[in-house]
Structure 1
Amino acid sequence: MQRQKHDKTAMSQQLYIFAPHWGSAHLSREAFIDRVKEAGFDGIEMSLPMDVEEREAWCRAIEDAGLLLIAQQWETVFHADFETHKQALAEYLLNACAAQPLLINTHTGKDFYSFAQNSELLDLCDRISLETGVPIVHEIHRSRFSGHPMLLLPYLQQRPALALNADLSHWCCACESLLEDQSQMLSQVFPHVQHIHARVGHSQGPQVNDFRAPEHAHALAQHLAWWDRIVALRRAAGAKQITMTPEFGPTPYTPTLPYTNQVVSDAWELNVAMMHLLRARYAE
């Protein structure tokens, strides 16, 4: 189908905040899109169905609602064998590119693949992006090629144009800290960031139970300082838009009480609250 083209000039230096579909898969398409619109998000970030008709139905509904789309690819996490992983990565990315999203956020590679293997996957992503015209960013995420700062830096040294999605909560968990001693490393990473997952992590996990709670004030302040630097770099580079997705997730990301498995906070409500914080802080 002919996808509506967004006016890039109208997007200049705009802030766009996306709602994660993660955690809302139990809702119908119509109910989820209504929820996103009512909350005030600018778009949706989601993994698109591989079934063509279902994918097109989602794309039409998102476009008809006046929302933007960021496509995700995370499903290759289930493919450990390298050749199977590579084939699946190509299939998922091409399916996402067919929707002509604003960009694709991909979970690329494995932390146990060799540098050469992960580089082969990055080359594949570059080719698909070039052929389709759809920007692809690689998410900083545990167990992927970017799962730890020292894993990622060699790729950045070899690939000055490597585009990242900063979900720094994963590195807090992987490094068991708020990265207080890694400012030089972050200075090398931040210029590569083209998208942000705005979730607040801590030294023992990728998600605090409620970022507004006073006991998490230090963690929130640290994440905001990182996002401030990234946004400033994006604006200084003349970025067409600043994109962010609050991404507090369902269980087991959201902690639960023992025995009852009752969640201690509402991930959707946290994402809406983070959207308002981001808009107040970064909208021009």
Structure 2
Amino acid sequence: MEILILAPHWGSNALAPQEFIARVVDAGFDGIEMSLPLDPAAHDEWTGRIGAAGLQLAAQQWETAFHARFDEHRDALARYLANACRARPLFVNSHTGKDYYSVEQNMELLALAESIGAQHGVPVLHEIHRSRFSGHPTLLLPYLRQLPQLALTADLSHWCCACESLLEDQQEMLDAVLPHARHIHARVGHPQGPQVNDFRAPEWGEALQRHLSWWDRIVALRKAAGARRMTLTPEFGPAPYTQALPFGGELVSQPWELNVAMLELLRGRYGRSQ
């Protein structure tokens, strides 16, 4: 099984496409995970430059997070998913639904995403993320019972925060959820937040080992299922995910440095194939 490690565009949005892509190539990533512009010219510039650099693309849609009303959220989801699928990426990682929508409303959104993905022949994955339909294990599990083929992006750092734990007491839940993971956001969270300030620091050793154990399990499950590839994206994000000192706002760690360090850890752990 091929192991691909992707660079997050999140946090580098101020860089011009050519500058960001050069940074990605220099660091040794296999591709990029990003939300593509709706503007057709900008969209095509990004996809053209990514392809010319020999990089893979995983598309995102997170913009629906800013649409609170259900009808607006549904319309935005259709628009952004279609825009993402037009690039023919490996998959689309979607921030879908809201934790305060009804089950019926979120099911409608999941069906819409499945339909758009099928039209384009592009898998749509739904990210485990606070405030989405998957924001807490007890919210997500009923959907998995109704939709046994539902594909997820595992960002378990969010559940560490939402459950105020390293999920030590939720093994049964993890056993139900991890087989649905098709992509990993390799960020380390902790019981009081979705991102540690530096995963290399000894005080975060337990949190790191817990996350690695989950990622190991997902990789092993995908290999056992005969998957052709597994993708992981280090996703340490900018402020306020990255903590800053008061008053001056100086960051206590650099997200891009952490993402490159996580790339190196993951490459050492999984290599290029499993």
What is the TM-score normalised by the length of structure 2? 0.99
Give, in angstroms, the shift of residue 276 of structure 1: 0.7
Residue 134 of structure 2 is aligned to residue 134 of structure 1: no
> Is the partner of 2:50 in helix, strand or coil?
helix
Residue 103 of structure 2 is aligned to residue 103 of structure 1: no
User: What does 1:229-240 correspond to in 2, within 5 Å?
Assistant: 229-240=217-228
Q: Select which of 179, 201, 209 maps to 1:221.
A: 209
Residue 73 of structure 2 is aligned to residue 85 of structure 1: yes
CA RMSD for the aligned pairs? 0.4
Give, in angstroms, the shift of residue 282 of structure 1: 1.0
Residue 6 of structure 2 is aligned to residue 28 of structure 1: no
Amino acid corresponding to residue 237 of structure 1 in structure 2: A
Instruction: Give the Cα–Cα distance (whole angstroms) in 2 for the partners of residues 130 and 20 of structure 1.
Output: 25
> Is the partner of 2:42 in helix, strand or coil?
helix
Determine the structure 2 residue equivalent to 1:192.
180
Give, in angstroms, the shift of residue 95 of structure 1: 0.4
Determine the structure 1 residue equivalent to 2:82.
94
> Is the partner of 1:205 in helix, strand or coil?
coil
Instruction: Give the Cα–Cα distance (whole angstroms) in 2 for the partners of residues 67 and 207 of structure 1.
Output: 27
Give, in angstroms, the shift of residue 232 of structure 1: 0.3
What is the TM-score normalised by the length of structure 1? 0.95
User: What does 1:36-51 correspond to in 2, within 5 Å?
Assistant: 36-51=24-39
Give, in angstroms, the shift of residue 240 of structure 1: 1.0
Determine the structure 2 residue equivalent to 1:277.
265
Residue 245 of structure 2 is aligned to residue 257 of structure 1: yes
Give, in angstroms, the shift of residue 281 of structure 1: 0.6
> Is the partner of 2:133 in helix, strand or coil?
coil
Instruction: Give the Cα–Cα distance (whole angstroms) in 1 for the partners of residues 113 and 15 of structure 2.
Output: 31
Per-residue CA deviation, residues 6-63 of structure 1 (Å, 9 max, x unaligned), is xxxxxxx110000000000111111000000000000000000000111001000000
Q: Percent identity?
A: 65
Q: Which runs of 4+ in 1 moved over 6 A?
A: none
> Is the partner of 2:99 in helix, strand or coil?
coil
Determine the structure 1 residue equivalent to 2:192.
204
Give, in angstroms, the shift of residue 225 of structure 1: 0.3
Residue 160 of structure 2 is aligned to residue 172 of structure 1: yes
Give, in angstroms, the shift of residue 271 of structure 1: 0.2
Determine the structure 2 residue equivalent to 1:69.
57
Instruction: Give the Cα–Cα distance (whole angstroms) in 1 for the partners of residues 265 and 2 of structure 2.
Output: 16
Give, in angstroms, the shift of residue 227 of structure 1: 0.4
Unaligned runs of 5+ in 1: 1-12
Amino acid corresponding to residue 57 of structure 1 in structure 2: E
User: What does 1:116-131 correspond to in 2, within 5 Å?
Assistant: 116-131=104-119
